[in-house]
Structure formats: C-alpha cells, structure tokens
Amino acid sequence: MQLRPLLTCVVLCIPLMACVTQTTVTAADRQHQPNLNMTEAARTRVALGINYLQVGDKSQAKYNLDKALQMAPQLAEVQNALAYYYQQVQDHEAVVKAYQQAMALEPDNADSYNNFGAYLCQQGQYQQAEQLLLAAIKRPGYFRVADSYENLALCALEQNDFTQARHYLSLSLTHNATRPSAQFNSAALYYATKQLEQAVRTLELMQRASQLSAPVLLLSYQVAQEQQQWKTMQDAEQQLFSLYPQSREALLLSQQQLSKSEFSVLRQRYLASTASAAVSPAQQPRIKIVIKKSATAESNKSQRRHQVQANESLAGIAQQYGVTMSDLISWNALRPDQALQEGQWLYLTGADRADQVTLPQRYQVKDGETLSQISLRYNIKLARLLQWNNLTEQSPVRAGQFIYLKDPAHLDYDN
C-alpha cells in the first residue's frame, strides 16, 4: 500500500539544476573544467529526465538519465534519479540496486537515505525504512530534516501507530513550523483522534496563510460539524463548491457521503486500532467477569424513538444511540440551533422519520429569511437549493417568493 490516503509522501529530493552555459577550456583550467562541465551537464540531463517523467514520457526520461549516467557515473544524484524512474516502471530490483549504488558512491548524501526509506515504507518494509530515514536526518548539512520526519510520520501511520505519527509530525513542524503538508497532516490526525480543538487551531493557521485546498476545506467542514459550528460549516461548504466544484471532496459533500472521505476513513482506522489494542490477548483478564446488561442498554439497539429528558443535548443523545448529530437533525427536521424541549420525541432512524414527515415541494419565503437559513432548516445542501431554483449565492430573495425544496425535474404535480 502506498503512502497516500490523505498524506502524500516526499519521495523525490533531487535538485534540478539550470542549463549550463558552455565555456571555452583554456590551458590554465584544462585539467579541471571538463570534469566540472560533465557533472553540470549530467545534472541538466537529470533535470530533463525528471521533467519527462512528470509528463509521462518514460522513454525520453530514460534516454536522458542514461546520458547523465554516461557523463557522471560517480554522481549519486544520477542514481537517485534512476531509482525514481525504476519506481515509475515498477522494477523493484533496479530500484534497490540504484539506491544502494547512490549510498555507496556518496555515504553522506542524505537524499539517498530519505528516498530509499520512503520507497521501502511504500513496500511495507517499515523497520528498514525507519532506519534509513533516521540515518538521513543524522547526515551532516542535511536541510530537508522536516521532510524526513514527515516521511517517518507517514510510515508510522501505515502501521496504524498514531502516537508515533503524531510525534514525528511534531518534530517535522519543529524544524519547519510553516510546512503546509505537515500542518495539514497534523490537523487530519487531530480529527482522527478526536482532538478537535487542536485541529481547529491548526486549520486556522493554514487559512491565515492562505493555504486553502479542497481537502483542507472538507476537513474544516467535518471538524465544524462535530463541534456544531454551523456558520463555519456553511462557510467551508460555500468555499468548497465555489473554488473546487469538480473536486472529489465537493462530490462527497454534495452526495452526503462523508463517511467515505479520507478523514472519516482515517478515524475508522484509529478507532479500529484502539479497539484492537484494548482486547489484545496480553491485556485480557484471566478471569471473565460477566455483567448483566440493563434493560435500557439492551433496548438502545432496537429503540426507534427517544423522549427528551431534562438537560439532554443532541450531542449526548447521538452518542447514546451511536448515530451522528447531523442525522438526528435531518431525521427530525430540526434547525441546527434549535433547543430541545423536555418530553419531545426524536426519531432515531431515517426510515421512521421518512414515514412520518414529507418534505414540502415548495416553500414560501418569510420576511428577512435567507437561502442559507432555509437550507439549514430543511437540511438541504445550499448548492442544491441554488441549482433547483436557478439562483446564485448573490441572488436576492423576497418575502412571499416560492422556492423549490426538491428537484423540480422530479416533482409530482398531481399532489
């Protein structure tokens, strides 16, 4: 499994040199200048080879990298570039040989250790990968220490070691406090481990630095959703649909499939890892103690409605029944800021609510209402509401105006 889901791995750390200006060799520098020119020419070929790889032209990439090898066979950068090429064509033996050759040629070239370690982590060879990445960090003069610590974090995450991943990300940010990928990965880990306040602070730092992207906005939305910060949710949703309408994140949100987002998947991995640790054989008690479950606990599994008691909250009820707050709001047609009343009945499944409540086809706007308020009240995505009514976010609405709450293309006009 490659280091992907939400976290991208820093694999290639090869400096791409500018083109070399040709110089005339004089008698005074005849013994030194040709070798220097060949090294710089080789680096130029490496840069060309990498550029061809990035646009998918592997044959031209290999041609230029072979030329670089002919020009400077003792240059570790060339072997690093060849290893990267072999990764793209999935030649494992050639990858390993190239990286080993690079480290043999220049034992203090930290890039070789970092790249090889990242590659081995992708291959599931975690222990050797960690050794190589730590070796890169120890190399004198290495200025990509933050990269290698982040790679260590990603490698720990591949093993579901969330504590170690958090530790290595912290070290990455210690060496580069404004590193966007490490900040984003930290925020994602905070969300996965339910440290929401830390996630908010990290995301706010990124937003102040204008480090916005579709994944950042979706993560902001999901964090705000758990905290019941409805204005933040709405802002993140509007930015996501406005700036990245074709992104996978926008599609997941519009289709209400947030359980498939990379952040939800990461949280499920975290929960599974903690549950597995809690019941590991080494920690199980030798004597089983059987505790009879109460009738209330047993009935929670099949209960379909809940009567609100004094001082109960949506969050507490959702946790009690193992459902999400957004589902409770949707199933009961609540406003996000609506207070619960003692004695009020809440539906605990969408099917029961669907049987009892029919969403009106149209809604007549009241004085002072906005489209955003209506979308929240009826739990309809604002983007859908705008689309169904041929409106934009800037379109004015007036009291008495009718707007569709369902797709007009599928309305039953006989009812």
Cα end-to-end span (Å), the chain: 53
Q: What is the pLDDT of residue 358?
A: 57
Q: What is the dihedral of CA 111, 112, 117, 123, to 10 degrees?
A: 130
CB atoms within 10 A of CB 341: 7
Q: How far apart are CA 236 and CA 261, in angstroms?
A: 15
Tokens 């990858």 belong to 95
Cα four-point dihedral sign 250, 253, 259, 265: positive
Q: Classify residue 280: in a domain, yes or no.
A: no
The C-alpha atoms of residue 324 and residue 332 are separated, in whole angstroms, by: 13
Greatest CA separation found in the chain?
99
In this structure, is residue 22 part of a structural domain?
yes
Structure tokens at 60: 């031209």
Model pLDDT, residue 279: 53
Q: Where do we find the tokens 């979308």?
A: 375
Answer yes or no: is 148 within a domain. no
The verdict on residue 155 lying in a domain is no
Residues 240, 213: Cα–Cα separation, whole Å = 8
> How many separate domains does the chain show?
4
Q: Are residues 351 and 372 in the same domain?
A: no
Tens-level pLDDT at each residue, the chain (415 residues): 333 333 334 444 333 333 322 223 334 444 445 556 889 999 999 999 999 998 999 999 999 999 999 999 999 999 999 999 999 999 999 999 999 999 999 999 999 999 999 999 999 999 999 999 999 999 989 999 999 999 999 999 999 999 999 999 999 999 999 899 999 999 999 999 999 999 999 999 998 888 889 999 999 999 999 888 888 988 999 899 889 989 999 999 888 888 899 999 999 999 988 886 665 555 544 434 343 444 443 445 456 778 888 777 777 787 778 777 777 777 777 766 667 777 777 878 765 444 444 567 888 888 888 887 787 666 677 888 888 888 887 788 888 888 888 877 766 544 4
- 27-35: long-range contacts, CB 8 A cutoff, minimum separation 24: none
> Residue 8's domain is classified under what CATH number?
1.25.40.10
The CATH number of the domain where 342 resides is what?
3.10.350.10
Predicted pLDDT at 116? 93
Helix, strand, or coil (residue 86): helix
* Cα separation, 9 vs 160, whole angstroms: 16
Residue span of the structural domain in which 88 resides: 1-138
Query: Residue 382 CB: number of other CB atoms within 10 A?
Result: 19
Residues 384 and 368 in one domain: yes
Is 147 a member of any domain? no
Domain annotation covers residue 161: no
Measured CA to CA, the distance from residue 183 to residue 6 in angstroms comes to 12
What the block records as the tokens of 82 is: 């060849």
Is there a domain that residue 262 lies in? yes
The CA–CA distances, whole Å, from 335 to 254, 329, 401 equal 19, 7, 21
In b/e form, how buried is each residue of 209-244, taking b as 16+ CB within 10 angstroms? Answer: eeebbbbbbbbbbbbbbbbbbbebbbebbebbbeeb
